[in-house]
Amino acid sequence: MNRTDRTDRRRERGTTGGGSSPRWLLALVIPIALAGAAVAWALAAAEPVQAEAPVRVLADCAGATVLGLAALPRLSDRLTPQWRPLTVLAALWAAMEFAMLALEAAEVQGITARQLSAAQFGDYLAHVSGGQIGIALLIGSGTVAIYSAFGFRRPDRATGDLVLVFTAVTLALRPITGHMSQQPLGSVLAALHALAAGAWFGLLLALALTVRTRGEWAVLLPRYSAWAMPLVVTVMVTGVINGLVRAGGVSPLFTSGYGRILLAKTVLLAVLLGLGWWWRRSWVPKAADHRMTADDSLRRAIAEVLVMALVFGLAGTLAVTA
């Protein structure tokens, strides 16, 4: 590649050369999500938080990212499924779901995960509803990983739509069978909340992982933005309704651990809603008009993703707080 070719490529990317991409900052998603879980644990104070909270957070983040990668081709007909990251992240998701099963089984038995025997684990899977739901989640995430690996080897014979459907069903399975399932329309609200949150977070993370050029940002960011606002509003409305029903009113928001975590999560969601509104007025028009470099768009995407990861850490812990 001669100097002219390199200059043309840098112009398309919207970079000046000599600097490194900020994409490595996406590695901070995991520690920040775990930090969110730690903050939630502190807010819970003396109230019990199940030991699997950090694993639940990682499973939720991995599942949401798989959902986002699977949905990415819906933003443009020119995009194809990213089979390699889909395979890796779905395998991580399945591993976290297995770890969740083992931790839940040990908790039911009143022992540590290291003390859990195969017989005790099998008994949990066979006779406890939580174990049966966990098996379904493990099968769903494992199926997505295996099919994505097949898609990586034979992309001409695989379709991303199957990954999208299996991922969405698997992500909705836990909330529709959880605490809210005992309330009128509770399962529907819980499923909408989980899927909207996963798509909102996962799609932006998928864009940050895969988009390389200013031209791609110009096309894809406005389309994502059109989806993002309805998704975050759905997350806020369903989350507030679900939380108030489970907390039992407004006063427990300040007096109970569950309420304090819910309140912190809601405040951060409000911050993200405001940030999204500001991005729609500033970042999105500039990116759409090719007036922003790819790296500048990537930095903004990463900043929002990291705040979302903090929210996911709070939400994952909230889901396992008594």
Q: What is the pLDDT of residues 262-316, one digit of tens each?
A: 899 989 988 988 888 898 899 999 999 999 999 999 999 999 999 999 999 999 8
The pLDDT, as a whole number, for residue 182 is 61
Q: Is the pLDDT of residue 160 over 80?
A: yes
d(CA 132, CA 126): 7
Residue 280 forms part of a structural domain: yes
Q: Which residues contact 249 (CB under 8 A, 6 or more apart)?
A: none
pLDDT, tens digit, 9 for 90 and up, residues 177-205: 766 556 666 788 889 999 999 999 999 99
pTM of the full structure? 0.90
The pLDDT, as a whole number, for residue 17 is 42
- 166: which DSSP letter? H
| Angle, in degrees to the nearest 10, between helices 160-176 and 129-153 | 170
Cite the DSSP H helix spans in 154-185.
Answer: 160-176
Tell me how many degrees the CA angle 61-64-68 measures, rounded to the nearest 5. Answer: 135
**Phi/psi at 49 (nearest 5 deg)?**
-120, 130
249, amino acid identity: G
Find the distance separating the first CA and the last CA of the chain, reported in whole Å.
60
274, amino acid identity: G
Q: Which residues contact 170 (CB under 8 A, 6 or more apart)?
A: 63, 136, 137, 140, 141, 144
Tokens representing 205 are 């993370």
pLDDT, tens digit, 9 for 90 and up, residues 169-181: 999 988 887 665 5
Q: Structurally, how many domains does the chain consist of?
A: 1
d(CA 121, CA 105): 6
Residue 9 forms part of a structural domain: no
Length of the chain, please? Answer: 322
**What is the residue whose two structure tokens read 């940050």?**
208
Query: Alpha carbon 24 to chain centroid distance?
Result: 18
Residue 7 forms part of a structural domain: no
Q: Concatenate the DSSP letters of all residues of 118-168 into one string.
A: HHHHHHHHHH-HHHHHHHHHHHHHHHHHHHHHHHHH-GGG--HHHHHHHHH
* Of residues 242, 237, 314, the one with CA closest to residue 270: 237
- In 3-state terms, what secondary structure has residue 321? strand
Lowest mean pLDDT among 80-84, 104-108, 167-171, 249-253: 249-253
d(CA 210, CA 65): 12
The pLDDT, as a whole number, for residue 8 is 36
Residue 44 forms part of a structural domain: no
Q: Is the pLDDT of residue 50 over 80?
A: no
Residue 255 forms part of a structural domain: yes
Residue 4 forms part of a structural domain: no
Residue 113 forms part of a structural domain: yes
pLDDT, tens digit, 9 for 90 and up, residues 86-114: 999 999 999 999 999 999 899 888 888 88
Which range marks the domain in which residue 92 is found?
A: 23-36+49-318
Residue 285 forms part of a structural domain: yes
Chain mean pLDDT for the chain: 87
| pLDDT, greater one: 245 or 76 | 76
d(CA 138, CA 96): 9
Tokens representing 253 are 């928001």
